[in-house]
Structure 1
Amino acid sequence: MLAIDAAAYRSPWRRVHPAAKGVFFGGLLVCALALPTWPAAPLVAVVALAAAFGPARVSPRAFARAAWVPLLFIFTGSLALLVTVGGPHGAVAFDPAGPAQAAEVTGRAAAAVCCQLLFAFTTPLADLLPRLTRIGLPSALVEVVALIYRMLFVTLDSARRIQTGQAGRLGYVDRRAWIRSVGSLGAALFVRSYDRAQRMQRGLECRGYTGELTVLIDDLNLRPAAVAAAAAPPLLVAAATLGYTFLGAGP
């Protein structure tokens, strides 16, 4: 099981209805994307991280492991905004407006990544997917996502077993052996995944598959008070940002 999924199943917020968590983290995400970057992005990040490391009890170490790759991608991508390409000879030059643009993009994207990751750290996908059909998503699309999600763990386990066998046979002893072993690993995974998908399809047909997978969903009460409490922090962030913006623009 992936670290994010394991943390989501252990989270004390698992018993909170996904809609309430969607209002909370989704509202913060909208604030990060729609409101002025400063101070919206820092406020969103602070509120989300305070809720995650506080009542949600998300492990800071696990969050750092999951966040460093997308945050590094955001940072390296924003560096391109520091330069401009133009002029008579197509020269690359420093853009005076680049640092402000890079800071704005980095702030918005980093705050948005925090919201999405923390929603994933507190909400197992198995609790979320069956409820998506209730808000109008096609059941076929939800079922395809669920099947891919479940087969992902089987594929990762198969890759781990194959890699262990290759390593035991000195399959990664040098560069040439490493390239050959990685190619063999990819080919074996493709064949096994295709065969497993075919067997799954035949199994569903033999069990009278009618176009919809019926699964048992935990009964979680969605209370209006919980939704109101979840909506309060995004509204406060929006009010604080707009107030700061209007006061700063005043005489």
Structure 2
Amino acid sequence: MFSIDKLAYISQLRKVNPTEKFIFAIFTMFICIALNNTIVSITVLLLMSAITVFKGEIPFGTYIKLMSLPLAFLIVGIITIAINMVHSSDNLIFGFSILNIRLGCTTESLETATRLFFKSLASVSCLYFLTLSTPVFEVLSVLKKLRVPKLFIELMGLIYRFIFVLLDTVNMIYISQNSRLGYSTLKLSYNSLAKLISSLFISSYKRSQDIYTAMESRCYDGDINLLEESYPSSSKRILLIIITEITLVLIAYGEYVVQLRL
């Protein structure tokens, strides 16, 4: 089982109603994206991280490692936004020329990059809150209750299952190659990697067919039925969700009023 799935099962938020967790995470993420406010984004990031780590009791080091995964993509993205072509020195923080092209970082571009950085991290923290507290098949059950098309839900479930088939196949082939010194030199590594990729498709396809045959032997008719647990709904949690969303909107509105007065 993948480590994120393990964390979802051991989370102290595991028994909380998945519909409430789903609505809280998705609504908070949408509000964060729509408001496009740095203070709101930082608030969401801290709030979701605190709930996931302290309330869900997810190890802090593990959470930091997971949050650092998208940083490489974010850093590349914000650099390209912060540094772009400039035509004047107004509000220019620093600049340089490459092949007669003037590049630089202005106050506006830096603010935009900072806003995007925190908004992206806050959105990731919302998704991690849901992922690290709710097993994926409970998320699929919530989508089913929300009348999401059945085909979409079944595709998500099957793709999720086959990800593990793919990872297991890669692991077995790699161990077999490595035990025969297939990665002892750079040349052998490239050769082994090419063979791994070519055989991966064939092996994965065969295993997927075997899994499908096993599902049909268990009367699979195109509908994946799961045993769903019954979780009690809490009016207190629903009230807290509403208060949180309203507070985020009020924070953004308050900052907007302050900027108008300045």
**Shared fold (TM-score greater than 0.5)?**
yes
Structure 1 stretches of 4+ moved >4 Å: none
1:69-108 mapped onto 2 (5 Å cutoff) = 69-85=69-85, 91-96=101-106, 97-108=108-119
Note the C-alpha offset of 1:95: 4.2
CA distance in 1, matches of 2:184, 2:190: 10
Partner of residue 246, structure 1: 257
Note the C-alpha offset of 1:201: 3.1
Query: SS of the counterpart of 1:214?
Result: coil
Note the C-alpha offset of 1:109: 0.9
Q: Is the counterpart of residue 223 in structure 1 residue 234 in structure 2?
A: yes
Partner of residue 112, structure 1: 123
Note the C-alpha offset of 1:206: 4.2
Asked whether the equivalents of residues 49 and 114 of structure 1 are also in contact (C-alpha less than 8 Å), the reply is yes
Q: Is the counterpart of residue 137 in structure 1 residue 144 in structure 2?
A: no
In structure 2, the CA distance between the partners of 1:119 and 1:131, relative to structure 1 (3 Å rule), is closer
Note the C-alpha offset of 1:72: 2.3
Partner of residue 122, structure 1: 133
**1:13-43 C-alpha deviation (Å, 9 max, x unpaired):** 1111111112322232123211242311111
CA distance in 2, matches of 1:13, 1:29: 19
CA distance in 1, matches of 2:171, 2:208: 19
CA distance in 2, matches of 1:90, 1:218: 65
Asked whether the equivalents of residues 53 and 63 of structure 2 are also in contact (C-alpha less than 8 Å), the reply is no
Asked whether the equivalents of residues 127 and 217 of structure 1 are also in contact (C-alpha less than 8 Å), the reply is yes
Partner of residue 38, structure 1: 38
Partner of residue 93, structure 2: none
Partner of residue 155, structure 1: 166
Asked whether the equivalents of residues 23 and 231 of structure 1 are also in contact (C-alpha less than 8 Å), the reply is no
Query: SS of the counterpart of 2:184?
Result: coil
Partner of residue 65, structure 1: 65
Note the C-alpha offset of 1:74: 0.8
CA distance in 2, matches of 1:54, 1:234: 20
Amino acid at match of 1:13: L
Note the C-alpha offset of 1:86: 7.4
CA distance in 2, matches of 1:6, 1:135: 26
CA distance in 2, matches of 1:76, 1:8: 30
* Alignment RMSD (CA, Å): 2.0
Using the size of structure 1 for normalisation, the TM-score is 0.91
Name which of 191, 197, 200 aligns with 2:202.
Answer: 191
Asked whether the equivalents of residues 45 and 114 of structure 1 are also in contact (C-alpha less than 8 Å), the reply is yes
CA distance in 1, matches of 2:142, 2:42: 32
Using the size of structure 2 for normalisation, the TM-score is 0.87
In structure 2, the CA distance between the partners of 1:83 and 1:244, relative to structure 1 (3 Å rule), is closer
Relative to its length, the structure with more helix (as a share) is 1
Q: Is the counterpart of residue 170 in structure 1 residue 181 in structure 2?
A: yes
CA distance in 2, matches of 1:213, 1:53: 33
CA distance in 2, matches of 1:110, 1:212: 36
Percent identity, aligned pairs only?
Answer: 23
Query: SS of the counterpart of 2:13?
Result: helix
Query: SS of the counterpart of 2:30?
Result: helix
Note the C-alpha offset of 1:92: 4.0
CA distance in 1, matches of 2:38, 2:215: 52
Of stretches 111-120 and 222-231 in structure 1, the one that deviates more from structure 2 is: 222-231
What residue ranges of structure 1 are gaps of 5+ in the alignment? none
Note the C-alpha offset of 1:112: 0.9
CA distance in 2, matches of 1:235, 1:46: 17
Query: SS of the counterpart of 1:122?
Result: coil
Amino acid at match of 2:103: A
